[in-house]
Structure 1
Amino acid sequence: MSTMQPIQPIAKDLLHEKVSDAIISYIYRNGLKIGDKLPGERQLAQELMVGRNSVRLGLCQLEEAGIIDRMVGKGAFVKREVNADSIQLKLMRVNYQDLLEIKISVERLAIQRAVERASDQQIAHLKDIAQRLCDMADEGRFSVQLDREFHIALLECGGSSTLTQLVLSLIDSLNSFTKILGNVAGIWVKTIPFHMDIVKALEQRQVSYAVAAHEYIYRYDLEVLNDLAEKEIQ
């Protein structure tokens, strides 16, 4: 049996993404097959020269991508064979903060269009969703699905199906990413009042008001990603 090639240490920026790439590279270079076991978290942390939290986040990302399975008390196992051109390998290099900034820029354009084009019926529908979000927030609850419905309705007010599909793709990617943080509802609940502010801005046809409210939501979204970055370096 040939000697296994070691996992190479990585630089300490964008740790969880680099951990994911390093593990994928390890699977590929060593020809691991479906069902083969990966090194344990402690060994990975030592060989990659990163904290165990970064290893866990990297493994979570690989699990989300369907590349590995994680079994409590047993470890992580290869679920899908990878190759050098694997789409997952490319996806792991995505900078999610860049994704957020792209989402915000495109959504801002959609909001500007919505202020000009939204019908009274569309605004009423948007207001109903915002009110339901507010009712949940009063109880300290946040619904990712309802928030997604709000953004769909807002994008539809802008009248561009292309912008709608683009932003929804970004929203889903970001939601998948932040799932590994656990319970972030405490942060996102703070964004709810600004959702209603956007509705009021549409009612008054005030572009600057709508964009300002949207900017506050962006700041809280950024806080979530910063929270992830802090966990990576612990």
Structure 2
Amino acid sequence: MQPVSRARLYEQLVERLLDYIHTERIKVGDRLPAERELAAQLGVSRASVSQALVALEVQGVIDVRHGDGAVVIDVPAERQILAALRARRNRLREVIEAREALEVKLAALAASRCTPEDLEAIDDALSLMAHEVAQGGRGAAGDEQFHAAVTAAAHSGLLAGLMTEIAELIRESRIESLTQPGRPEESLLAHRKVADAIRTGDAEAAATAMAAHIAAVSDTALLRER
């Protein structure tokens, strides 16, 4: 692989990695080289390589396993993945807007309507995420469980239905966000602030905490690319 030098680094790295998968005849189940090795070959930082790997993970090309590297789970056509990547950049902005509209309201409602059982579910999700992060993981499963628990605690069937409709799109934004350096720890802290406000029944504080959290989620490498 040759070093990357032109603009739009993010897309170029994805393109180079796809080229590598095809030219090296990498099969499903094979592992890609370590991030450090890929970064050296491409002449870029490990952080840039990590973001490109996230793009491939979201598109179902690889599965990034903590402590086990990137394992290829599909070898699609390059054109298909690059088109999906460009579409995802535009879609991600809309997903963030939808989350701001829905989840801020859900947090406020949860503070007003939650039951002891709802609070227990929220605490369980926080415990799961804390465990994942402590083990060096992203905390994605706990993150997803937390937002589902807050949604359930709002006791709004219509809003819950809307969240279900965009659940897969939210998963993309979740992976994109939690791959940022330090983001899992920041997200866990933000979740705890939301949970504390819900626990005390402070709807305004819960909404404010959730809004701040969603704003942080929107700060991703993909959206910073121009």
**Aligned partners of 2:129 and 2:142 also within 8 Å:** no
C-alpha deviation, 1:80, in angstroms: 0.6
Q: Do the aligned partners of 1:63 and 1:69 also contact (CA within 8 Å) in 2?
A: yes
Deviations 1:47-81 (A, max 9, x none): xxx545323431453255443689xxxx9989514
Which residue matches 2:67? none
Q: Which runs of 5+ in 2 are unaligned?
A: 65-69
In structure 2, what residue type is equivalent to 1:11?
A
Tell me which amino acid in the other structure corresponds to 1:188. S
Give the whole-Å Cα distance in 2 for the aligned partners of 1:194 and 1:174.
19
CA contact (8 A) 2:58 2:172 kept: no
TM-score normalized by structure 2?
0.61
2:75 matched residue in structure 1: 80
Which whole-Å CA distance do the structure 2 matches of 1:212 and 1:130 have between them? 18
Q: With the length of structure 1 as denominator, give the TM-score of the two structures.
A: 0.59
1:7-156 correspondence runs (5 A): 9-12=5-8, 15-21=9-15, 23-24=17-18, 26=19, 32=23, 34-35=25-26, 41-45=39-43, 50-51=44-45, 53-63=47-57, 65-67=59-61, 80-84=75-79, 86=80, 88-93=81-86, 94-95=88-89, 98=93, 99-111=95-107, 118=113, 122-132=114-124, 144-156=140-152
| Aligned residues with identical type, % of pairs | 16
Please say if 1:159 is aligned against 2:154: no
Distance, in Å, in 2 between the alignment partners of 1:217 and 1:69 is 26
Indicate if the aligned counterparts of 2:39 and 2:46 stay in contact, CA closer than 8 A: yes
Q: CA deviation at 1:102?
A: 3.2
Contact persistence 1:40–1:76 (CA under 8 A) = no
Q: Does structure 2 conserve the Cα–Cα contact (< 8 Å) formed by 1:20 and 1:59?
A: yes
Aligned twin of 2:213: 217
Indicate conservation of the 8 Å contact 1:20/1:62, yes or no.
yes
Count residues with an aligned counterpart. Answer: 203
Offset, 1:10: 3.4
Q: Which amino acid aligns with 1:159?
A: G
Show the counterpart of 1:185.
Answer: 184
- Taking structure 1 as reference, are residues 195 and 166 closer, same or farther at Cα in structure 2, changes over 3 Å only? farther
Letter in 1 for 2:164: Q
| Structure 2: distance between partners of 1:69 and 1:222 | 23
Contact 1:137 1:189 in 2 (8 A): yes
Q: Deviation digits for residues 10-69 of structure 1, max 9, x if unmatched?
A: 315xx4344214544x479xx747428999544433xxxx54532343145325544368
Match of 1:3 in 2: none
Amino acid at match of 1:129: A
* Offset of residue 104 of structure 1: 2.3
CA–CA distance in 2 between the matches of 1:123 and 1:76? 42
- After superposition, the C-alpha distances for 1:131-174 in whole angstroms (9 at most, x for unaligned) are 44666899995954344223213223221243121353233212
